[in-house]
Structure 1
Amino acid sequence: MVLGCFWIKIRGLKPVAQMEYTQDLENVHLEDYPMVLVQIPMCNEKEVYQQSIASVCIQDWPRERMLVQVLDDSNDLDVQALIKAEVQKWQQRGVRILYRHRLIRTGYKAGNLKSAMSCDYVKDYEFVAIFDADFQPTPDFLKKTIPCFKGNDDLALVQTRWAFVNKDENLLTRLQNINLSFHFEVEQQVNGLFINFFGFNGTAGVWRTKALEDCGGWLDRTTVEDMDVAVRAHLCGWKFIYLNDVKCLCELPESYEAYKKQQYRWHSGPMQLFRLCFMDIIRSKMSLAKKANMIFLFFLLRKLVLPFYSFTLFCIILPLSMFLPEAQLPAWVVCYVPGIMSMLNILPAPRSFPFIVPYLLFENTMSVTKFNAMVSGLFKFGNSYEWIVTKKLGRSSEADLIAMMETESEPLVESTSLQRSSSESGLAELNKLQMTKKSGKTRRNRLYKTELALAFILLSASVRSLLSAQGIHFYFLLFQGIAFLAVGLDLIGEQVG
């Protein structure tokens, strides 16, 4: 994959649109702008709903050619009222925006999107842009993505890159950036060279409505619904484009608890999907090379072998070998192979090189969660099918939101008393919720028993290694044990009491 990344960079391979939209507002021809349906699925997103809706409503796209669906699955009546008020405010500003709320919340996010696509008017829209609740696309997002479909009738999806805007960047945020930057830089699809349908990126893009219908639409059979629909679309012969230079602002989990739940879903879901679509891949008309890429490289290697290797070697085999004198692990198993893999991961993000050691240690601690998720998803154990919404803090772009609200003070259409009352009411309720959140109890550190138990084993093994003069193993076991201890005591992520 890294070789493919360098091949792309050396050859300068890049998706090029056959057209582009000009900034000449006087000579705009509406027929040049296809009908676009914009969907924002959300559930109790009181921290981020306002900035998400605002960023979509200020898209530089003719209002007659765009419809926004706010798909609210919230079961909190106060949050429902706030989102309704926000939608009403933008309606009064002339934006074509609708509020939808399901009485029966089945199928989680996939069920929410499937319900929205069943509306009769959806057939009038050629493209569907989908953004998670914490996403904030730039105003020119549609103008940069829609032209890629021109002349590419077999193109199903144009994906874009996440841009992380956490103002209070901590070690956890930095390590997440390193982890995800590898995917963004390397896993670009150029002329079918790579297949890029990871759950964390599929919802920041534009789908061709016909392609969604052709592959069966949204299904709630896994916890990675966007990966599911992308795999099925690929099996149906549709292609994808990944625009690495088009960014969409979003928020990273700022607590270890939220990040752990997110990673559990992202590694359990692919194993669910692999079990369900394995025979479909075998029976598909794709080339043998693409079948091998999907089965062995994407599913088995990335989602099964690597978590299993990291967990068993670093958390079980290596520490236990310190208590068995006859067990000898060569240095290349413990150091060289993991070191080379880490270097390959860090190459696409050279600015993160100083963090390679904590990144390696952190990834090994996360292998516990990933291994557990992989086994649960593959064999349908435990809560593998539980869809948990990643907790948002709404701190990713408060300054931008304030600036946006100041801009909104200049009305886009002539104000009315109703508009002012709804807007002021919504802001008042938002301020009330913010004050309630700030005045609540300080969150205390959680204790993660599995990580603490492994920290004890690793630190004990490091002492044993020191006594037996196995220096190279001692240093690794010591620092890895400290990493497990820090995570087990919840000492990384957001500041807590």
Structure 2
Amino acid sequence: MVIYKKNDKLSASLTEKKFVTGKALCVILMISLLYVFLFSDSIKELPLAVFILMDLLIFFVVLHKTYQILYDIKLLFWFDRDFDTPLDFPKEIQLPSITFVIPSYQEPFNVAKMTFDSVVNAPYPGLKVIIVVDNSKNVLADDFVNWKSYIETSQLRHPEITVKFVYNEEQDKLKSGNLDLAHRFISPDELVVFLDVDSTLPNSCNLLERAVAEFEADKALGFIQFRIRATNCHFNGLTQAITWHQDLLRLRMISRGYGGYKIFEGHNGMWRKKALDDIGPWTSYYKGDIIITEDILKSVDAFSKGYTGKQLNIETGEWVPSSLHALDGMWSRWMYGNTQVFFKYFNKIYSERVSILSKFDISYHILHQFVIGCFFVVAFALQLLVPGGSATIFIVSMFVVPQLVGIFTSYVSLNDKSQSISIKRKVMDLYSGFFLIETFIMVTQMKSNIKFILGMSQGWKVTEKGFENAMSWMNVLRNRLFHVAMIFMCLSICFVSWFVNYGFAFDAVKYHLALLFLSFNLVWCIIAFGRQGRQEHNNVESAMLHDI
């Protein structure tokens, strides 16, 4: 039996330090209003209705981008690994058991095994229970047979751990259906860790004990989100670029949880079983379609039931997509699902239980795809309707500058000096991640917005983790039709503007360079990464979370 020693002095809570503050929010609002005021002079010749609409759209975009820039800068000076304060219990207690839930669907066996073994090896003196729920359609595939056999025979190898494999015949309920089925087998009063196939846990840092201590100290705590970092960055050029981009995204989310809205990111986090019981099933519908971002959905549900969430700045592992096809699918799901949650749970998101700071923070997260839509609308309208450099100023200040700040923040905060990668290579990867990949993702978000508005179902497909054959260029273009269409849209708008506003004057080309720069990023992204994927030499042994 493991007992925590009594500590008469109760430690500070995990969220004692506030990263998201009211002062910062005031600064963001003032900068945004000043930008709109100064920019309004360049569009004052537009009809009044258009002028007002443009000002509102510009303010929406500026508010979002200023929020991003300010907190990226704060990451450089006011956030580190020691941001958390470990807790000691004020009374003696026994460590509770932890159930680890791993939902899977047609996963490569070696990747699924990697996640399972990571759980087995993660240090925790208490009892571990592992539940695997699989809803693969092809139960005769070698990967499924090997995965099922490995789980069912693991009890002999690890008698100290309780292991259960459950097959879910309801494939139509996607990941949320697997989670609902797993919930039936979780004992009361237990803590639950949710992992994806590709997740790995650290072999040090006492992650699980640290998290358990928080739940014991705060009975209203519903969930804790661990920090997530990519572990397969070396697979190819695309994963190297995405890693810089996505690791900063994860760092932004974990840091803003200290004072802002606490978001469960869908995996690599711990929940209180009672909170899950009170919240209800994972499967939820919007207009007949399953909501495909069950992560943020559960965060909203937890707060509406009076529970709180917290972040724990200890790194755990995940894989980033190794092909553009997988990247497009992942971001399409995220953005479509966020929109579903926003419209169905608007009242819960902005309820009286949620503080002003948290409301602004969740708005930054859940309205991101709408901001991107407004960005393109404003950029196109300025290029066509307002001669001069207004479009260039807007695109540079709302796209180029935030990305440059992101590059610098990512390099300073996430640079792994143990990797033998040249500075030139890192700069290339950073540019690719924050300009090529970001532009690609922005267009994917636009596509997701349009599909939602038109009532088209997004569907759900697990992010590819197996080996991927290189596509032919014809298939690359076929799969990226919307992105190619956006390239032609940008070029066409530049051409029309150059003709209508400047009569093809050569010296007017400079007014179109910013929009052409967006097109260039998208073209180069498809050319550079369109045929890349995970290859056979990309083994799982090199793609696990190593001790920090």
TM over 0.5: yes
Amino acid at match of 1:226: D
Q: Distance in 2 between matches of 1:460 and 1:131?
A: 45
Partner amino acid, structure 2, of 1:348: T
C-alpha separation in 2, matches of 1:366 and 1:189: 22
Whether contact under 8 Å (1:107, 1:220) holds in the other structure is: no
Are 2:233 and 2:243, in contact at CA under 8 Å, matched by a contact in 1? no
Match of 1:104 among 156, 170, 181: 170
Change over 3 Å in CA distance of 1:473–1:392 after alignment to 2: farther
Q: Are the aligned partners of 1:158 and 1:207 in contact in 2 as well (CA < 8 Å)? A: yes
Alignment of 1:471-486 (within 5 A): 471-486=509-524
2:190 is the alignment partner of 1:126 = yes
Q: Does 1:75 align with 2:137?
A: yes
Deviation for aligned residue 1:14: 2.3
State the alpha-carbon separation in 1 of the partners of residues 260 and 216 from structure 2: 21
CA distance in 2, matches of 1:114, 1:224: 14
1:255 aligns with 2:310: no
Which of 468, 472, 494 in structure 2 is aligned with 1:444?
472
| Cα deviation 1:88-140 (Å, max 9, x = unaligned) | 33111113111000122342111111111123xx2344200110011111234
Q: Which of these residues, 102, 106, 116, is aligned with residue 53 of structure 1?
A: 116
The aligned amino acid for 1:85 is S
1:238 corresponding residue in structure 2: 307
Q: Distance in 1 between matches of 2:195 and 2:255?
A: 21
Q: Does residue 271 of structure 2 align to residue 271 of structure 1?
A: no
Equivalent residue runs for 1:158-173 within 5 Å: 158-166=224-232, 168-173=234-239
Q: Distance in 1 between matches of 2:403 and 2:189?
A: 45
Asked whether the 8 Å contact 1:172–1:493 carries over to 2, the reply is no
2:245 is aligned with 1:179:
yes
**SS of 1:290's equivalent?**
helix
1:50 is aligned with what amino acid?
A: K
| Contact 1:110/1:219 (8 A) holds in 2 | yes
The answer as to 2:82 corresponding to 1:44 is: no
Alignment-derived partner of residue 454 in structure 1:
486
Question: Residue by residue, what CA displacement relative to the aligned partner does 1:46-81 show, whole Å, maximum 9, x if unpaired?
Answer: 241111111112232347x11100111112222332
The percent identity for this pair of structures is 20
Query: SS of the residue aligned with 2:219?
Result: coil
Which of 381, 400, 403 in structure 2 is aligned with 1:342? 403
Q: CA deviation at 1:486?
A: 3.3
Identify which range, 233-242 or 11-20, moves more after superposition.
11-20
C-alpha separation in 2, matches of 1:476 and 1:209? 51
Q: Is the contact between residue 255 and residue 493 of structure 1 (CA under 8 Å) also seen in structure 2?
A: yes
Partner residue in 2 for 1:417: none
Which of 4, 11, 16 lines up with 2:85 in the alignment?
A: 16
What do the CA deviations read for 1:360-379 (whole angstroms, capped 9, x no partner)? 343233222102213434x4
Contact 2:124 / 2:209 at 8 angstroms: preserved in 1?
yes
User: Which whole-Å deviations, capped at 9, do the CAs of 1:288-311 have from their partners, x for residues lacking one?
Assistant: 4534543x43333x2312x11333
Please state how far the C-alpha of 1:164 moved relative to its aligned partner.
Answer: 1.4
- Give the secondary structure class of the aligned counterpart of 1:349: helix
Pairing 1:66–2:141 present: no
1:204 and 1:102 map into 2 onto residues whose CA distance is: 22
Shift in Å, 1:45: 0.4
Deviation at 1:228, TM superposition (A): 0.5
For 2:87, give the aligned amino acid: Q
Q: In terms of mean alpha carbon deviation, does 263-272 or 481-490 score higher?
A: 481-490
Question: How many Å separate the matches in 1 of 2:276 and 2:312?
Answer: 20
After TM superposition, give the deviation of residue 194 of structure 1 in Å.
Answer: 1.2
* Counterpart position of 1:298: 365
Contact 1:361 1:479 in 2 (8 A): no
Q: CA RMSD in A?
A: 3.3
Structure 1: distance between partners of 2:386 and 2:301: 51
**Cα distance change on mapping 1:161 and 1:229 into 2, 3 Å:** same
For the Cα contact (< 8 Å) 2:226–2:315, is it kept in 1?
Answer: yes
Residues 1:6 and 1:311: Cα distance change in structure 2 (over 3 Å): closer
CA distance in 2, matches of 1:57, 1:189: 29
- Structure-2 separation of matches of 1:242 and 1:371: 30
1:325, CA displacement in angstroms?
9.1
Partner of 2:435: 360
Deviations 1:192-222 (CA, angstroms, capped at 9, x unpaired)? 6111326xx3311111111222222423331
Query: Normalized against structure 2, the TM-score is what?
Result: 0.69
The residue identity in structure 2 corresponding to 1:346 is I
Contact 2:303/2:353, CA 8 A, preserved across alignment = no
Give the secondary-structure state (helix, strand or coil) at the position aligned to 1:96.
strand
Structure 2 partner of 1:370: 445
Superposition map of 1:200-211 within 5 A:
201-211=265-275
Q: Which amino acid aligns with 2:449?
A: M
Residue 268 to residue 485, structure 1, CA distance change in 2 (3 Å):
same
Between 54-63 and 125-134, report the one with greater CA deviation: 54-63
Whether the 8 Å CA contact 1:462–1:473 is kept in 2: the answer is no
* Structure 1 CA distance for aligned equivalents of residues 102 and 73 of structure 2: 35
Give the counterpart letter for 2:230 in structure 1: F
Within 2, Cα distance between the matches of 1:74 and 1:232? 28
Q: How many residues align?
A: 428
Give the Å deviation of 1:165: 1.8
1:312 aligns with 2:377: yes
Q: Secondary structure of 1:166's match? A: coil
Change (3 A) 1:167 1:343: closer
The 1:14–1:172 alpha-carbon spacing in structure 2 relative to 1, beyond 3 Å, is same
Structure 2 distance, partners of 1:182, 1:72, is: 31
Cα distance between partner residues in 2 of 1:297 and 1:442: 36
- Given that 1:178 and 1:349 are in contact with CA atoms closer than 8 Å, whether structure 2 keeps it comes out as yes
Determine if contact 1:131/1:204 at 8 Å carries over to the other structure: yes
Report what 2:457 is aligned to. 383
CA–CA distance in 2 between the matches of 1:31 and 1:232? Answer: 29
Determine if contact 2:106/2:137 at 8 Å carries over to the other structure: yes
Question: Does structure 2 conserve the Cα–Cα contact (< 8 Å) formed by 1:219 and 1:229?
Answer: no
* Alpha-carbon displacement from aligned partner over 1:132-188 (angstroms, at most 9, x marks no partner): 011111234423432232312222211112221225354432332233233333333
- In the alignment, structure 2 segments of 5+ residues that lack a partner are 1-66, 286-290, 416-425, 499-503, 536-548
